[in-house]
Structure 1
Amino acid sequence: MKSTIGILWACAILLVSCTKEKTDYEAEIGKVISDQTEFKEVLSKSLDGYTIRVEALNGTFYSGYNEVRIHIGTTANAGAAKIKKATFFPVLKQGAKYSSCPHQFVLTANQQVHYLKGYAVFTEVSSPENAWELNVQIQVDGKELHLTEPIQVMEQPNKNLNMTAFQGRDGKDYVIALIAPRKPNVAENEITAGIYRHDPSTAERLETNLDPAYYHYTMVKGYTLQLDPRMPEPSMGNHSSPNNKDLVQGDDGLYHGVVNYTMTGNWTLNFILLNKDGKIMKGTKVPTDFTPGVAGAKSELFIDILF
């Protein structure tokens, strides 16, 4: 009888603990997560009779994945210009050192909606030590326009859009950025991520040389991102969930899978990254033991999220 009462008491404590944490998480979600469905102006510049407007969701560049839109119109009548080609090159200045991040160098032109489309995965938040600069070159109406402007990159408030940068076992530098879901549900959620590898086309360059080819990133092809989501908090016992699906590459170049969140709270997405030959580039298996009262072990490759 005493043992039964003890078990019930322990379960009650665990239930209260879980409920309290869940309530706290829900309160935090209400404070920090916005829908971010509207593109707004980040910066605008007039050059040689044209107006160039750079837009992002919420009018802000955040660390992690950002879709970028660039509108170009004539200053005289604000009409759309005929664009031949445009390139997009973000540069990070850290003192005398220069670097970049995964980005779409040649932007995609959409003449029907009159804007150029691309992306950037900003790996650092702006600070006195980390100064970002945007370089855009546009061939339009027989002219070539050059836009070079400083930009601010803010910390991503939505933890479901976190990212990680690491060196793979092949010696290459990689970035994994979460793109969706922005607002997960307690359900099976389609998950999307970009996986990028630094592939400079030139073997040796000076760090101060702003040659875009040296800072070139590619979307990796034919990889698999094995997924094992866990709730690592001691009160959660490192439990996982059923019906998850590893991320594989789609026609859009991004990686798609399924993550099943069984409750709101603090989750860790544990990964193992396999190349197209099935070799592990990064990541380790996570123990399957249920460990109440003990923080859960994580893969050497993981991203923490919160919803």
Structure 2
Amino acid sequence: MKRLHFVVIVIFVLVTSCTLEKTDYEAELSTETTEYIEFEEVTSITSGDYIISIEALNATLYKGYNEIHLNIINTQTNVSLQDKDVTFLPIVTDANGNKSSCPHAYNLEYNATEGYYLGYAVFTSESDTTISWQLYIDFQEGSQSYKVDQSITVEKQTNMNLNMTAFTGNDNEQYFIALVSPQSPGVAENDLVAGIYKYNQPTSSEGTFPDPSQYAYSVVQDYTLLLDPRMPEASMGNHSSPNNQDLTMENDGLYHGVVNYTMTGNWTLNFIFQNEKGETLKGTEVSTEFTPGIEGAKSDLYIDILF
């Protein structure tokens, strides 16, 4: 009887401790994530008779995935430039003068219904005193070519639900995974969307700057991102959830799956990244054991989120 009484007390202490730590954690870190749905102008560039307006959600470019809209208008006629070849190239320069780019859509697609050019950029760092970003945009109207460039500011991504990661796979290729949605998840089964990209190693020496062949990226086609979400805090004991679905590519060029958040708080999306042959390029399995009081181990490929 004494032994049973002791076991009951231990269980009560463990449960109470977990609940108190979780409550304190939520009180300390509770935050609201604003879901942006309106595209607004970030900046504009004038070249000859044309003005190019660059739009993004919340009129801001963030580290991570950004959908980009371009409107090109003739200032003399007030008529939009429609269905032309428009290229878009972001370049980042570091403190040593080294230049590189980031995953992006180089050839923008014209959306005839909405009247803008559609693209994206996955900015890999925010702007600061040592990092500067520049956009290079080219288009042609008739026999006239237009080449413009504009400095931009990339802000820190404060919404952890839109985090990203970059890594080198076992095939020595450089990959990038950027969360696209949900911006503001709920305690529910959430549609999880991510972009997965690869740097295309140049096959020739650099030509006239900015030579797009040196800064080319492509969407990774038909790979699989295995998903194991867990709460890594010691108080949560490596807690996971049922009904998650791995991410696979759909027709929009993005990877779609399902993540089931059973409570608010700090979650880690543990991944295993596999090619079309099922070969693992990055990522490790994590323990499925419940470990109260012990911080959960993470895959060597993961993204942390918080809501």
Give the TM-score normalised by the residue count of structure 1: 0.94
- Give the match's secondary structure for 2:149: strand
* Cα distance, 1:203 vs structure 2: 4.7
What corresponds to 1:19 in structure 2? 23
Paired amino acid for 2:196: I
Q: Distance in 1 between matches of 2:15 and 2:97?
A: 57
CA contact under 8 A between 1:83 and 1:139: conserved in structure 2?
no
Paired amino acid for 2:21: S
The change in CA–CA distance for 1:9 and 1:112 in structure 2 (over 3 A counts) is closer
* Cα distance, 1:2 vs structure 2: 3.5
Q: Name stretches of at least 5 consecutive residues in structure 1 with no aligned partner.
A: none
The change in CA–CA distance for 1:228 and 1:203 in structure 2 (over 3 A counts) is farther
Q: Deviations over 1:95-116 (max 9, x none)?
A: 2211000000000012332210
Q: Distance in 2 between matches of 1:263 and 1:276?
A: 33
Q: Distance in 2 between matches of 1:217 and 1:229?
A: 28
Find out whether 1:197 has 2:201 as its counterpart.
Answer: no
Paired amino acid for 1:251: N
Alignment partner for residue 5 of structure 1, among 5, 9, 24?
9
Q: Name stretches of at least 5 consecutive residues in structure 2 with no aligned partner.
A: none
What corresponds to 1:155 in structure 2? 156
Q: Distance in 1 between matches of 2:285 and 2:6?
A: 39
Paired amino acid for 1:8: F
Paired amino acid for 1:231: M
- Give the match's secondary structure for 1:194: strand
Paired amino acid for 2:194: A
The change in CA–CA distance for 1:250 and 1:10 in structure 2 (over 3 A counts) is same
Q: Distance in 1 between matches of 2:118 and 2:206?
A: 29
Matched residues, number? 302
> Identical aligned pairs, as a percentage?
47
Find out whether 1:217 has 2:221 as its counterpart.
Answer: no
Paired amino acid for 1:268: T
Find out whether 1:240 has 2:245 as its counterpart.
Answer: no
- Give the match's secondary structure for 2:253: coil
Find out whether 1:139 has 2:140 as its counterpart.
Answer: yes
What corresponds to 2:167 in structure 1? 166
Q: Distance in 1 between matches of 2:34 and 2:12?
A: 40
CA contact under 8 A between 2:247 and 2:256: conserved in structure 1?
yes
Q: Distance in 1 between matches of 2:74 and 2:205?
A: 41
* Cα distance, 1:191 vs structure 2: 0.4
CA contact under 8 A between 1:83 and 1:138: conserved in structure 2?
no
CA contact under 8 A between 1:98 and 1:210: conserved in structure 2?
no
Q: Distance in 1 between matches of 2:209 and 2:301?
A: 31
What corresponds to 2:290 in structure 1? 290
Q: Distance in 2 between matches of 1:107 and 1:285?
A: 38
Regions of 4+ moved over 4 Å: 203-206
CA contact under 8 A between 1:54 and 1:68: conserved in structure 2?
yes
Q: Distance in 1 between matches of 2:143 and 2:26?
A: 58
* Cα distance, 1:83 vs structure 2: 4.2
Q: Distance in 1 between matches of 2:83 and 2:249?
A: 31
What corresponds to 2:124 in structure 1? 123
Paired amino acid for 1:100: S
* Cα distance, 1:277 vs structure 2: 0.9
* Cα distance, 1:67 vs structure 2: 0.3
Q: CA RMSD of the aligned region, Å?
A: 1.6
- Give the match's secondary structure for 1:105: coil
Give the TM-score normalised by the residue count of structure 2: 0.94
The change in CA–CA distance for 1:12 and 1:138 in structure 2 (over 3 A counts) is same
Paired amino acid for 1:192: V
Q: Deviations over 1:10-53 (max 9, x none)?
A: 31221121122223333xx22xx222111111111221111111
1:92-107 alignment, distance < 5 Å: 92-94=92-94, 95-107=96-108
Q: Deviations over 1:127-186 (max 9, x none)?
A: 122111000001234422211011110111110000000100000100000001111110
- Give the match's secondary structure for 1:82: coil
* Cα distance, 1:293 vs structure 2: 1.1
Paired amino acid for 2:255: Y
Q: Distance in 1 between matches of 2:180 and 2:265?
A: 19
CA contact under 8 A between 2:70 and 2:117: conserved in structure 1?
yes
Paired amino acid for 2:295: A
Q: Distance in 2 between matches of 1:11 and 1:110?
A: 55
